[in-house]
Structure 1
Amino acid sequence: MSRTRFDGLPPGKVASHLGVMLLVAVVLGVVVSGLAIPFAGVLGFSARNVSESVDDLPQELETEQLPQRTEVQDAEGKTIATLYDQNRVNVPLRQISRTMVEAIVAIEDFRFYQHGALDLKGTLRALLTNQAAGGVAQGGSSITQQLVKLTLITQAEGDKEAIRAAKEDSYGRKLRELRYAIALEKRHSKDWILERYLNTAYFGDGAYGIQAAAQHFFGVNAKDLKLRQAALLAGLVQSPEAYNPTRNAAQAKVRRDVVLERMAQLSVISQADADKAKDRKLGLHVQEQPNGCVNSEAQFFCDYVVRWLMADPALGATEQERKRLIFNGGLTIKTTVDLRYQKAANAAVAAHVYKDDQAIGGLALIEPGTGNVKGLAQSRPMGKKKGETFLNYTVPTRYGDAAGFQPGSTFKAFVLASAINQDIPLTQRFPAPQTLTVNLRDFTTCDGPYQSSETWSPKNSTSASAAPNLYEGTQKSVNTFFVNLEKATGICEPWKLAREMGITELTKAAQVPSFTLGIADVSPLEMAEAYATFAAQGLHCDARPVTEIADAQGNVLKKYEKQCTQVLASPVANAVNDVLRGVVSSGGFAAAQYPGQPAAGKTGTTSDNKAVWFVGYTPNLAGAAMVAGVNPQGHPESLDGKAVGGRTLYSSSGSTTAGPIWGDAFKAVAPLLDDVDFTRPSSSDVRGLLITVPAVSGKSYDDAKATLEGLGFTVVNGGTVDSAVGQGLVAYSAPGTGARLASGDTVTLYVSDGTPKVKKGKGKKNKGHGNGRG
């Protein structure tokens, strides 16, 4: 029978060995009884470890859900980004190759299925070896004990003190682990513990858990791991960084071969198989798992998704809880982005504004009728290097931190829609002098007349007739025309309408006479969302980047249904579309950008050229393109004289500077869009478009025609009729005086032959065909 010898040892060493033997006795007692007994009196222990008894420790370890990486998917289910604090994907034991299970058990705890929470032989061996070495030189922990340690570290969530306690090289820590390990073995099966261990363990190089490790080092799933692959991964858990095969290939191979040899010793594999595997290279096929939005081809859309979800209280009571769920919950986030649209947007922006330019280019695409955000692109990519930024200029401030830019004349569309809604005919004319001086108190806000005794003198940057109607005034973007139109509509309704259509961050401070000229800072996404309302015939849908989120098991946690409200009568929206399509049709400001689909839009340019815009749409896609000048500090400044997209801008405008971004993107995606057209304004259901036919009897044909065409009617000569009206003058119209028609409807004029109509049988027959009266 063997004996432990103390001959020649110093008294301190003898006492230490005695302490170890007593400690082993304590451990044996714990294991046998399943109860904790006081250890404060064990020789040499209390000075280095906690002073409380094991009885004071919790009897069960809370095994919370392991952090897992979240996948962000496009509309078709393709992963566009992964988000994680720990790169991990949990898999059940049945989806881990049997060879991998055998390798990890062989090298870490080959009696795992035979012993309880503690491997007594291994623990005793480690205790004696460590005492002889004067420290912790050998581990004796079972897989269950290792799982306890890994769990405590994982659940510390960065708490340095908790992590230190979980890693402490002391017998006190071993006893704490043991207490928890006993509880785990009582509550769970061996297979559950092994599965949890393989999913918790860190394998190095940023890979947590066996599935992430298999994918990272070999590009395969855990269920497909072969012998040499499994042996390498099994060897990594002892010291993931020391044996990291991407940095220390030689040491990794040595460790792998140790695992193979151990498997052969235990007859898990044959010696021949072990030797054959040892002769082979590591066989790495490293696959990086990018973390975060910076690696996505839809960087700023991804960023918007995260920020949008972070604002959802349904995902957690606090921002910290929501962030933990998003980055550690193993979620599948299904989004609305279409990578075909996103690529078109990326290419269009990059072609016209370079990342190092002292300007920002941006484009937002949104689907009318759903609010689905189809793509977001900006000229400066995400990052910290020169020409990069983490500010998302394409979305509202609350989701991207950027303050936005003035939208210029794109805000005129809200005044136009309000005018139509207030029964102002599209053919009504308003004075449009080159310079207009108005009293500010003549404008009304939601609180009554604008409180100012000052005057304002806006100027035109474009030319038009002296008194254009709503078609011409809008299509030529005449400033003084819209100032007069806004006087007629008031500021309140356009301001409310803009908010209802998606410019939700507009404050009451924006209710100023210059509202129609676009003085409030906005983002491309807001403008695209607003104009999508016109395309959807007055149905406003909140911008929606996410359709649903599911947990790691595939259970849907929340669906995000579209949120839509009718904010404009469809005939009013149809009328706006009819006006704005002239901007993109032949001869309009943006005619060069016609995408091959029916399209409408509006240009926008600020007075000092700090920002230029084009917001355009087809019946099934809306987009807002923007180019804004910024100085090196990121503050807005004029685009004039700046090199943008490889050319110096001596002048800039919405049609020539921002328009081409919109045009390039829409021309690229046009083949993907359904072939539909806008609904033309109806002459029967739009009050504001119904125009009273004036009395024209007695006027010359030319004068009558000019009057009617000035109101937007189409005039046709109906020929000569008997009438008492002077010969050659208009006898009457059809429809007649007082009739209500829509712009574009036809009015027929009948000319008098100077002979009064006589009763039937007593003279000439009436040659006219009209039913109106002069």
Structure 2
Amino acid sequence: MSSPRSDRLPAARLLPHLGVMLAVAAVLGVVVAGLAIPFAGVAGIGARNVARSMDDLPAQLETGALSQRTRIVDSEGKLITTLYDENRINRPLSQISRNMTQALVSIEDYRFYQHGALDLKGTLRAFVTNQANNGTVQGGSSITQQLVKMTLVAQAKASGDEDAIKAATEDSYARKIKELRYAIALEETHKKDWILERYLNAAYFGDGAYGVQAAAKHYFNVNANKLSLTQGATLAGLVKNPTGYDPTNSPDRALARRNVVLDRMAQLHVITEQQAADAKAAPLGLDVQPARNGCVNSTAPFFCDYVVNWLLKSGDLPGRTEKERMEYLQSGGFTIKTTLDLRYQRAADDSVAAHVAPTDQAIGALAMVEPGTGAVKALAQSRPMGRNKKKGQTYLNYVTPQEYGDSNGFQAGSTFKLFVLASAIEYNGFPLHQKINSPHQKDIPQSNYKGCPGDGAQVGVWQVHNSTSDGMMDAYSGTRESVNTFFAQLEELTGLCNPYKLAKSMGVELTNPTGPHGERVPSFTLGIASVSPLEMAEAYATVAARGLHCDAEPVTAILDEHNKPVKEYGKSCQQVMAQGTADAVNDILRGVQEPGGFGGDAGLGLSVPSAAKTGTIDSNMTVWYDGYTPTLATASMIAGANSKGEWITLNGQSLKGGYVATAHGSTTAGPMWGDAMHVIQQWLPDQDFVKPDASVVSGVQVDVPFVGGMSVEHAKDVLREAGFRSSVGNRVYSGYSYGTVAYSNPSGKAAKGSPITLYPSAGPEPKRKHKKKRHGNSARLFDWPGNGNGNGPPFGH
């Protein structure tokens, strides 16, 4: 006896199907032709109730713009990273491979272009087939219905409303009716191509890829218009179960699903049987590209972090709060064009990594700014971005100002001498070759330092000492050798207000001028203010650009999804000092890079003209090397920091395995600067600094009163009345009486308000007895040039 046909339904299971079909017929008498309805449980619902439910729904589905990822690119358009909630890049249907569209329509809704919102034939067939097989074998929803469901779920999730999310995802009659009504509305108001295009851009393809373009790039590293038959079939197979068929986790299941799609295409004569067989024999051919979302995995993590924070605070993005602006940034499909030069960034990263390890008890950082534009070219730090403290990772951005990062900054040391030097030249006409007696230690009444209007008087005595050289110093030698007592006296001349204001105008974010921990104090010139490497790079870029200060900016433009400008950023620049002043400063600071200067002696000179200033703070906890060329300013900093986040000395530390006995700007931070800049200099123009004008070199000078032979007190009064400050140096032999003034230095002419050193006379030099006559004059008074009229160097210097 032959066996009964296996495809015939038993009578017990046939009756429910007939009931469903009758219900469908009833509903179709109420709603428009082509409407699909849920089959589970619908038999007991009257057509009138269905019609009432339909009438209560809105007539239109607000689709809105699909969330798209934002791209951050470097100055050449190369991708740095992407920002998104959903990794999606919209593509018009014309830019999607026909292989892809044919595969998707074949497997999801092969009669898509023939039916309306509901494919009644396909839905009934799928329902009966699924019932016969005790499970889901064929899908019944049209592409339009699926798109409606995607849209409602996305809108519910975006709202954050838990009830809305539940209503959009629950398996209920109400949800099905709502989706069907919206499907009809879409079919009435949009063409089929629009619906298919929207579907392909909205669908989730697994492993974080939304839309066909993101999926094509992620799985195969091709654009959507280049998808092959096998690639298109693979992606088309994913939409049914993106997680279950994810080829990165379940390649065997993905391959089997792809072959189902290919068989279906052959069955529908979209492709030939031979094409299907050939394609099924091919491997998946994945070329998976890691998804970049956010700054952690970007090519420049802390520059990226700076860009994002800069944009959130710029006021150029919609939203009342930073959270709202971030959501807009992650979904707007923008291209953020930045100033980053990846060549510079790689050089900076390599140098920092070579000098400071992530787990060292120190932080190394480099910041690079282009003079004349303010373009931030690179930011690098030794502790990589992440949460693994055992690997030295951190999310704190130590390179940028606190406004855009998380660090409170680092004391800048002698790099702040720049502001006093520039102020002395700019506002006091200080002659570059005028010498100031700069002993190893000097006690200076703090009341000598005039502040800004309204500042209280400074009290106490400031005891300043040198850690480098002593003696008679001018602007060149005093700066090249970073002589503290020279700058302490120069700051007496400038006062505190002008250097402070100049530093702010050059990009240093000083915020605490007075008070217990105020910045506008005599030790300002020694860099007691806390700053970031980016601020110092911006400040030194100002003198490199001949006094033109440009705000440091990381972004040049925001483009929409069609690459049309939403916002363009121009330079924000202002001349904050005379070009002649900057030329003089550059001429002085280039001496640091030349033989005899700290940088020159440390081998930090470049093949292109460069200048620099070192900095070291008390206890050698932080060291700096701020160097620049006419076209690039780079601040290098290394700071001691233990695992508790406490600042510690660098002395005795091991940096990248090398022992540091005593840390200095030139020998510790300098090599990190040099290793980066020696690579970068090949891309820099061979441009020189402008030679300072002779009038700036000579400065603005006034006559210094003649005081030779006067008592010291009388000489002080005379100099005070002439607008000069005075101090007393060592006794020297001279033709004047003992205790009177032998001479002053400087004499003749000097900048008004300059410190004048008075040298008391020790009387005539005693005659010496000699066993035999020496060549030349021997036993006589020191015959200094101008001896007897108040000129000459001090004894012993």
Select the residue among 443, 462, 482 that pairs with 2:468. 462
Match in the other structure for 1:758: none
Quick check: 2:510–2:529 contact (8 Å CA) kept in 1? no
1:133 to partner: Cα distance: 9.1
* Among 686, 689, 694, the residue aligned to 2:699: 689
Match 2:172 to one of 170, 173, 179 = 170
What does residue 367 of structure 2 align with? 364
The separation in 2 between residues aligned to 1:634 and 1:26, in whole angstroms, is 70
Aligned residue runs from structure 1 range 656-735, under 5 A: 656-684=667-695, 686=696, 689-691=699-701
Q: Secondary structure at the match of 1:204?
A: coil
1:561 matches 2:570? yes
8 Å contact 2:34–2:119 — kept in the other structure? no
Cα deviation, residue 31, structure 1: 2.6
Could you tell me how far 1:217 is from its partner in structure 2?
1.8
For residue 138 of structure 1, report the CA deviation from its aligned partner.
6.0
- Conservation of the 8 A alpha-carbon contact between 1:479 and 1:517: yes
- Mean Cα deviation higher: 58-67 or 405-414: 58-67
Residue 687 of structure 1 and its aligned partner are, at CA, apart by 8.9
Of 171, 183, 189, which residue of structure 1 is paired with 2:191? 189
Distance change >3 Å, CA 139–CA 169, structure 1 → 2: farther
1:25: which partner in 2? 26
Q: List gaps (5 residues or longer) in structure 1.
A: 697-736, 741-774
Q: Name the amino acid aligned to 2:284.
A: L
Distance in structure 1 (CA, Å) of the matches to 2:626 and 2:118 = 69
The corresponding residue for 1:584 is 593
Secondary structure at 1:117 match in 2: coil
| CA-to-aligned-CA distance 1:415-472 (integer Å, 9 cap, x gap) | 111111122222333342322223333322223454453333232222221x422222
Shift of 1:589: 1.0
Distance 1:693 1:53, change over 3 A: same
- Is structure 2 residue 333 aligned with structure 1 residue 324? no
Instruction: Say if 2:417 is the partner of 1:412.
Output: yes
Deviation, structure 1 residue 690? 4.3
**What displacement does 1:266 show?**
1.4
Q: TM-score, normalised by structure 2?
A: 0.81
- Residues in 1 aligned to 2:624 and 2:211: alpha-carbon distance in whole angstroms: 49
Partner secondary structure for residue 458 of structure 1 = strand
Count of residues paired in the alignment: 688
Contact preservation (8 Å) 2:401, 2:534: yes
Say which SS state the counterpart of residue 250 (structure 1) adopts: helix
C-alpha displacement of 1:177: 0.9
What amino acid is aligned across from residue 367 of structure 1 in structure 2?
E
SS of alignment partner, residue 457 of structure 1: strand
* Equivalent in the alignment of 1:217: 219
Separation of aligned partners in 2, 1:629 and 1:148: 58
Match of 2:459 in 1: 453
Which of 651, 654, 660 is the matching residue for 2:662?
A: 651
SS of the counterpart of 1:436? strand
What is the root-mean-square deviation of aligned Cα atoms in Å?
Answer: 3.0
Equivalent residue of 1:361, what SS?
A: strand
Three-state SS of the structure 2 residue aligned to 1:565 is: strand
Where 2:638 maps in the other structure, the secondary structure is: strand
Give 1:27 deviation, angstroms.
Answer: 5.4
Tell me which residue corresponds to 1:426.
432
Q: Which residue of 2 aligns with 1:724?
A: none
1:345 maps to 348
Structure 1 residue identity aligned to 2:402: T
How far did 1:57 drift?
2.7
Q: Residues 153 and 163 of structure 1 are in contact (CA less than 8 Å); yes or no, is this contact kept in structure 2?
A: yes
* CA distance in structure 2 between the partners assigned to 1:300 and 1:50 by the alignment: 57
Q: Distance in 2 between matches of 1:453 and 1:341?
A: 47
Q: What's 1:608 paired with?
A: 619
Query: Contact 1:464–1:472 (CA<8 Å) still a contact in 2?
Result: no
Distance 1:533 1:27 in 2: 77
Q: 1:131-146 maps to which residues of 2 (within 5 A)?
A: 139-146=139-146
| Aligned equivalent of 2:234, options 232, 235, 250 | 232
1:91-130 alignment, distance < 5 Å: 91-125=91-125
Alignment of 1:54-69 (within 5 A): 54-69=54-69
The residue that corresponds to 1:373 in the other structure is: 376
Cα drift, residue 66 of structure 1: 1.4
Distance in 1 between residues matched to 2:689 and 2:45, nearest whole Å: 84
Q: 1:588 to 1:22 in 2, by over 3 A?
A: same
The answer as to whether partners of 1:81 and 1:291 remain within 8 angstroms in 2 is yes
Q: How far has the Cα of 1:526 moved from its partner?
A: 0.4
Q: Which moved more, 1:589-598 or 1:445-454?
A: 445-454
1:518 is matched with: 527
Which residue of structure 1 aligns with residue 294 of structure 2?
Answer: 292
Out of 554, 568, 574, which is 2:583 matched to? 574
Structure 2 residue aligned with 1:701: none
Contact 2:590–2:610 (Cα < 8 Å) also in 1: yes
Contact 1:605 1:611 in 2 (8 A): yes
Match of 2:182 in 1: 180
Decide whether the 8 Å contact of 2:636 with 2:669 is kept in 1.
yes
Amino acid at match of 2:583: N
| 1:495 CA displacement | 0.9
Shift of 1:30: 2.5
Superposed CA offset, 1:546-574 (max 9, x none):
11121111111111101000000111111
Corresponding residue number in structure 1 for 2:734:
none
Distance 1:532 1:681 in 2: 17
Give the fraction of aligned pairs with identical amino acids, expressed as a percent.
55
Structure 2: how far apart are the matches of 1:354 and 1:7? 77
Does the alignment pair 1:435 with 2:437?
Answer: no
Q: Please give the per-residue CA displacement for 1:43-74, whole angstroms capped at 9, x wherever unaligned.
A: 6569xx99993333322122222122222221
Residue 659 to residue 739, structure 1, CA distance change in 2 (3 Å):
closer
Aligned to 2:502: 497
1:617 partner letter: Y
- Relative to structure 1, the CA distance from residue 512 to residue 572 in structure 2 (aligned partners, 3 Å threshold; closer, same or farther) is same
Aligned equivalents of 1:525 and 1:690: distance in 2?
34
Secondary structure at 2:464 match in 1: coil
